Amino acid sequence: MTREIAVVAFAQTDHRRTSDELSEVEMLMPVLHAVLDQTGLKTADIGFTCSGSSDYLAGRAFSFTLALDGVGAWPPISESHVEMDGAWALYEAWTKLLTGDADTALVYSYGKSSPGSVRDVLTRQLDPYYVAPLWPDSVALAALQAQALIDAGDTDEPALAAVAARSRTDATTNSHAQLRGSVPQGDYLVRPLRTGDCPPIGDGAAAVILAAGERARDLCERPAWIRGIDHRIEAHGLGVRDLTDSPSTRLAAERAGAFERPVDTAELHAPFTSQEVVLRKALRLDDSVRVNPSGGALAANPVMAAGLLRIGEAAARIHRGESDRALAHATSGPCLQQNLVAVLEGDPR
């Protein structure tokens, strides 16, 4: 790798159960303006723009092109979109900066789950021949994984409840979070998962700016350098995988250099408590690592933005001097099917 690339700015909306007074672009614009303001950049100064979203969430065809209105995309800008979490948009932007074609990139993502039923919407990403016709919702699939972990002796219901409680307690210091403080563990939603084991459903958006080399130092006092980033996927058949493990996370982490030196912080995209158990194992995180100080996806889970939020939160801690080396993880698909790992570092203080 010949070019150093860093996250130099991060912004997010407040994540709320509904935002029906706002269209996607109306929800998104304030965070776009916030990251531009942090760096003093204007749209015209940005070399590459990449976004992540899914039209299925709100049932609005081509909503991602309408969202571009908020960027100011005329005269035409260099731009791309992924129908994935914004963490993968960031990955595309990172590769674009590596090529030297651009020195700065704006990455954003948004999700409005409130207009639809996200548990059902997410069934449409499944194998259309053998799985989608059964409409297994996202909580049901996570529950199958949780039971496999319990059967394997990797966790139990009290341990899962402790993950939920720790996450929402940590979120009390995160004003953007949707679920904060004392949240009852509740009844079973799909056993063994209780409502407390599941993420809140809500709307939100996030944006970051990437910059290369000296440009990053100009734009940010303490850039969060991306030392490595990689993403890997597993077989799509749920019954082919060992649901208690995440070899794709482990491989992505290896390729991102996560195991070369310990990290002090990890922002994990684990929408369900049981998935944090899998990720901690795959990433070999011990108790010395601060996991999800933001509260993680259990505190705010705007689908399509929750992974980018992990990278943004990890970078923001480096910006503020609260972390020197952080791991950020994003996931996509059922039961942690696809995983992205980034390692971020600040300059020595």
Partner 1 sequence: MPQVLKAPLAVEFPFTRSLGPVQSAFLTGLRERVLLGVKTVDGRVLVPPVEYDPVTADEIRDLVEVAGTGTVTTWAWNHEPRRGQPLDTPFAWVLVRLDGADTALLHALDVPGPDAVRTGMRVRVRWAEERTGAITDIACFEPYDGEPEQPAGHSGEFEDAITGIVAAARLDYTYSPGRAQSAYIHALSDRRMVGERCPSCRKVYVPPRGACPTCGVATSEQVEVGPRGTVTTFCIVNIKAKNLDIEVPYVYAHIALDGADLALHARIGGIPYDQVRMGLRVEPVWTDGSRFPDHYRPTGEVDAEYDTYKELL
Residues that bind partner 1 (CB under 8 A): 20-26, 29, 32-33, 43, 56, 58-60, 66, 68-74, 115-117, 119-121, 123-124, 128-137, 140-141, 143-148, 151, 188, 190-193, 235, 237-240, 243
CB 174, min distance to partner 1, A: 26
Report whether the peptide linkage leading into residue 293 is cis, meaning its omega lies within 30 degrees of zero. no
Pairwise CA distance, residues 287 & 26, whole Å: 41
What is the sign, positive or negative, of the torsion defined by CA atoms of 180, 8, 53, 72?
Answer: positive
Indicate the residue among 150 and 268 with the shorter CB distance to partner 1: 150
CB of 149 to partner 1, least distance (A): 9
Q: Which is nearer to partner 1, 193 or 318 (CB)?
A: 193
246 in Cβ contact with 116 (< 8 Å): no
Helix (H) or strand (E) holding 211: strand 203-212
Closest alpha carbon to 333 in 238, 219, 200, 252: 238
Q: Between residues 103 and 137, which has the closer beta carbon with respect to partner 1?
A: 137
CB of 237 to partner 1, least distance (A): 6
Q: How far is the CB of 259 from partner 1 (least distance, A)?
A: 23
Would you say 302 and 202 are in contact if contact means Cβ atoms under 8 Å apart? yes
DSSP 78-101: -EEEESS-HHHHHHHHHHHHHHTS
ω into 192 cis (within 30 of 0): yes
Complex with partner 1: residue 177 or 278, whichever CB lies closer = 278
- Stated as kind and residue range, the H or E segment containing 168 is helix 157-170
Q: How far is the CB of 227 from partner 1 (least distance, A)?
A: 30
| Beta carbon nearer to partner 1, 146 or 210 | 146
Shortest distance, CB of residue 235 to partner 1, whole angstroms? 4
Token readout for 257 is 């250099």
Contact 224, 265 (CB under 8 A): no
| Cβ closest to partner 1, residue 141 vs residue 308 | 141
What residues does 81 pair with on adjacent strands?
51
The amino acid at residue 221 is: E
Which of 3, 8, 1 shows the shortest CA–CA distance to 344? 8
CB of 14 to partner 1, least distance (A): 16
Rank residues 60 and 255 by Cβ distance to partner 1 and give the closer one: 60
